[in-house]
Structure 1
Amino acid sequence: MVITIKDDVSYEVEIKKSRFICQLKRVTSQEDARAFIAAVKKEHRLANHHCTAYTLGEHQEIQRSSDGGEPSGTAGVPMLEMLKKYGITNVCAVVTRYFGGIKLGSGGLIRAYAGSVNEAIKTVGRVVLVEQIALHLELEYAQFDRLQHLLQVEKIPIVKSDFSSVVTVEIFIDESAQTSFLSVLTEKFAGKIKITTGIKHRVEVDFDPSAPL
């Protein structure tokens, strides 16, 4: 399961007169992440700290973090742990701090940096990236109503249809469900529907917080 943020987002909080600005951006490579970090540093060139964390790969294979001048272990790692906690990948987090004159201590810094990432994620929400495959179905007119009913039950929309000498229907189905769905089709229509596979694509579905990671 590949989970990422729904969109890029910025979240700001003030803690003991220090401003913490958390920006999350979807990225696809370390080059993307580095470019985003550089852009944030340029945008907030007068800030005291720019702390960063990012994860890349379908299983968060690449993980990087930086404390950006804060005491070791008080910023980058807590930010990275928050990304890992939510199972998020292909995301770069930058928390910019404008120091307000009051020291927070190690515990306060950890809570501030991890907390700002946490709130930014909750603000924007998460999506699951699902691989789907196109199925082209060819059937007789007399079979169409039954097929349409089955697709409604399975909550699979018809992408395209054509009614000529026979009926042709195009649908997209989750790749993980392809085998079981084809078995259902074969059983219900006694193998009388012609099925061919087409292109694959990836869709974004809102993440269900109750679902296991």
Structure 2
Amino acid sequence: MDFSEKDTYRTISKPSKEIIYKDRGSKFYGYAFPVKDEEAVKTYLETLKKQHHNARHWCYAWQLGADYSSYRANDDGEPSNSAGMPIYGQIQSFEVTNIVVVVVRYFGGTKLGVGGLIQAYKTAAQHALEASKIVTRTIDVSFFLTFEYAEMNTVMRLIKEENIKIVKQDMELKCVFKIAVRKKEANRVFELFNNTYKVEIKQLENS
């Protein structure tokens, strides 16, 4: 069982406040929202489309996963790569994930050109991220511990010594604890309990 050393990621703790950037009559409203999945992205987009129902474009980019593995950029009718990718570039620049950044544009009558659009969407996204509270979170690995009541003192002593978080306890015929361990400690903690007499440890799938 091998867990890589990188065990933190950066995200935002709550939605940013609305920012506005203006260029030659066009208004760009920037927002950043913390999200866990694409459903949450859709919900925020629908809310903004209702809020700004007279706007011309709702361009956005998102990044998901503690390993920064999934992303998308959407130009929403603007020239190709003039909106979504500049927004995504700021997400990369701030090194954040589990986030969607949306820039809503009201057209002001003057065309900005591709270069002007790239600059405007990039700046609005940057300001939205600057208005956000960025936090660093740990990536945890979850395990199930199964043991008899007689081993409770041993298990609790190890949990206390290692400062392990108990997520859930089930105390019926046997004791079953769900624990969460910081990723870089996971190998060591697994071996610790695996070598403890009469205690069974299993990794929770998809953790």
Q: What TM-score does the superposition give when structure 1 sets the normalisation length? A: 0.63
Which residue does the alignment assign to 2:24? 16
Which residue does the alignment assign to 2:13? 6
Change (3 A) 1:27 1:173: closer
Q: 1:94 aligns with which of 85, 94, 102?
A: 102
Query: Helix, strand or coil: the match of 1:20?
Result: strand
Distance 2:183 2:63 in 1: 25
Distance 2:19 2:63 in 1: 19
Query: Which letter does structure 2 place at the counterpart of 1:176?
Result: K
Distance 2:99 2:113 in 1: 28
Percent of residue pairs bearing the same amino acid type: 30
Structure 1 runs (4+) greater than 3 angstroms displaced: 172-180
Query: Helix, strand or coil: the match of 2:127?
Result: helix
Would the aligned equivalents of 2:58 and 2:76 in 1 still touch at CA under 8 Å? yes
Q: 2:55 aligns with which of 40, 47, 51?
A: 47
Q: 1:68 aligns with which of 55, 76, 91?
A: 76
Query: Which letter does structure 1 place at the counterpart of 2:113?
Result: G
Query: Which letter does structure 2 place at the counterpart of 1:2?
Result: Y
Q: Which has the higher contact order (CA 8 A, sep 6+)?
A: 2
Distance 1:31 1:6 in 2: 18
Query: Which letter does structure 2 place at the counterpart of 1:16?
Result: R
The answer for unaligned runs of 5 or more in structure 1 is 139-146, 148-155, 157-171, 181-213
**Which digits, 9 at most, give the CA deviation of each residue in 1:113-159, with x for residues without a partner?**
011111111121311112499xx875xxxxxxxx9xxxxxxxx9xxx
**Where do 1:1-213 residues align within 5 Å?**
1-9=8-16, 10-130=18-138, 131=140, 176=184
What CA RMSD, in Å, does the superposition of the two structures yield over aligned residues?
3.6
Change (3 A) 1:173 1:60: closer
Query: Helix, strand or coil: the match of 1:124?
Result: coil
Tell me the number of residue pairs that the alignment of Structure 1 and Structure 2 aligns: 170
Change (3 A) 1:72 1:127: same
State the shift of 1:179 in Å.
8.2
Query: Helix, strand or coil: the match of 2:131?
Result: helix
Query: Helix, strand or coil: the match of 1:103?
Result: coil
